[in-house]
Structure 1
């Protein structure tokens, strides 16, 4: 089954996550970066065009054999669906219409969600913003694999399976590890998505809906674009927890590869993130980064020092505060006892 992963525990850090600190330092030195903040309405235009392309593609796959359909779902439909999932990521930060129009962003997110086949837009936003605010928090950041994943997928062969199953882990890990009450917009997202899926099946056929869902599952797993899931926060260099990718696939991924820049400035649209690096090169050029998402996947699978455990965790803030309070109470009691 291949080499066993030498890492048997997460990397724990007592330091605050680096992005808030770096953001302050960058803005102090480069206040001109503030002009990049805002939104980009091209997100809406481009993503809706991709939705229409996918609906049109549904008509063409009806005449395909199943092997050809699966190939088309992986190469064409899956690539578009993965790009749409990253458009949902942009929209979750209100980068399509701005923070003053949150409902417009949520409606667009549900539209962009349609070809993906499974309702995700509203729930994704709910958990993703916590990933930014509480990066690495042991109880809050559901982007981090579970301890069970770390123990199960511990060698080369099993890590191959883990990569294929990434879409399932990303879909179900948050709701299982950190369940939250269902919001009204999530119900609407489900109804809209189910109605669309039924319409595709009823008016176009089973192959059409299969093309969409299969493409999503394949493209979010063992697919070049899916390298971003691993490249963003898995610890390829000890002590570094966020990595940017500066390769050509950023053109299909809304520049999500500029991940240090994105976490430093989540209110800057992906289209402008390369400018952040150009304006403040002294903060980014010396950070470890990736140039190939395919190589990232290969290294993750083959390198025994990297696996689901290769993530930096932090003790939960409330838990830490409770321990500190308890410790002070014990010290106070000891002082009174001695007196």
Structure 2
């Protein structure tokens, strides 16, 4: 692939229309009101997250016996998959899809963070809900890259770096674009995760702690399951701003690939999203979708018409009120 091929897309696509999910949700519920029966928490998330966290922590301990190259392979493959699976469990918890009470979902999210090594859940929830409320709106939807990212990461080689550093951009971008006051819950989240990190270090050594951290960072970057970051909203096809993926990696991502369905019905848990598509297939079958997240990452990197600017933006409807 031509490593220095320059991206030809130099600005965001701007539309004057509302995001598509509210209107489609209304249409679907008019025809299929029974979908409302799928709304609400799903307690299956609790044993799932606990089991994934336990598996990751077992790998942390086991990794202390490995030579460095086997340690890296395990951190990328199994560790990266498990920690990313936990991050998508936290995505479910951000929508209160395990318990009815927000506080209980927060506690479970903090437990998941212990098996990721980084305190992220409370801050993620604070910004992620804005992504649903303000999809594509300047300075409100921090899921959209900044102008700076679009201008800097504009060659094939630089896009590889951008994909690899996705966890860094996801962590820092909200704090720069739309800083919000820190909360006591974020402090508790940080204290519990860092406290567990210190325990892991003391009990099993630095190698175990680094395995946890590296698994999380590798799993959020140039990794097959991380392909959903690009697949969800980057406009690899024209005329559409949200895309679903119906491939096998949904099994280790709480069905986050059903992303049109998720934005249409954010109150439906990932376990139940395939039922939404099964009930109302005519609303989704005509939309562009993917069968490979790895293929999406590859296309994003090598296609000169795709880059950080390949997102849809819209004006803030509340700006003149």
Give the TM-score band, short-chain normalised: over 0.9
Between Structure 1 and Structure 2, how many residues are aligned?
Answer: 319
**Kept after mapping to 2: 8 A contact 1:51/1:115:** yes
In 2, Cα distance between equivalents of 1:311 and 1:54: 34
In 2, Cα distance between equivalents of 1:178 and 1:103: 24
In 2, Cα distance between equivalents of 1:24 and 1:315: 22
Aligned counterpart, 2:203:
203
Q: Which runs of 5+ in 2 are unaligned?
A: none
Q: Within 5 Å, give how 1:270-281 maps onto structure 2.
A: 270-281=270-281
Aligned counterpart, 1:260:
260
- Per the TM alignment, residue 84 of structure 1 is displaced from its structure 2 partner at its CA by 0.2
Correspondence 1:269 to 2:279: no
Q: Within 5 Å, give how 1:101-140 maps onto structure 2.
A: 101-140=101-140
Instruction: Name segments (4+ residues, structure 1) moved above 3 Å.
Output: none
Correspondence 1:214 to 2:214: yes
In 2, Cα distance between equivalents of 1:293 and 1:115: 24
Q: What do residues 234-287 of structure 1 show as CA deviations (whole Å, max 9, x unaligned)?
A: 001122100000000000000000000000000000011011001001100000
Aligned counterpart, 1:334:
none
Aligned counterpart, 2:35:
33
* SS of residue matched to 1:268: coil
- Normalising by structure 2, we get a TM-score of 0.98
Aligned counterpart, 2:150:
150
Q: Within 5 Å, give how 1:1-339 maps onto structure 2.
A: 1-98=3-100, 101-319=101-319, 321=320
In 2, Cα distance between equivalents of 1:64 and 1:131: 41
**Kept after mapping to 2: 8 A contact 1:153/1:162:** yes
* SS of residue matched to 1:20: helix
**Kept after mapping to 2: 8 A contact 1:110/1:192:** yes
- Per the TM alignment, residue 145 of structure 1 is displaced from its structure 2 partner at its CA by 0.3
In 2, Cα distance between equivalents of 1:272 and 1:307: 32
- Per the TM alignment, residue 318 of structure 1 is displaced from its structure 2 partner at its CA by 3.8
Q: What do residues 180-234 of structure 1 show as CA deviations (whole Å, max 9, x unaligned)?
A: 0011100000000110000000110000011011111111000000000000000
Q: CA RMSD in A?
A: 0.9
- Per the TM alignment, residue 53 of structure 1 is displaced from its structure 2 partner at its CA by 1.4
- Per the TM alignment, residue 65 of structure 1 is displaced from its structure 2 partner at its CA by 1.4
* SS of residue matched to 2:6: coil
- Per the TM alignment, residue 55 of structure 1 is displaced from its structure 2 partner at its CA by 1.7
More helix by share: 1
- Per the TM alignment, residue 316 of structure 1 is displaced from its structure 2 partner at its CA by 2.5
Q: Which runs of 5+ in 1 are unaligned?
A: 323-339
* SS of residue matched to 1:216: helix
Aligned counterpart, 1:328:
none
The more displaced of 58-67 and 294-303 is 58-67
- Per the TM alignment, residue 175 of structure 1 is displaced from its structure 2 partner at its CA by 1.1
- Per the TM alignment, residue 114 of structure 1 is displaced from its structure 2 partner at its CA by 1.0
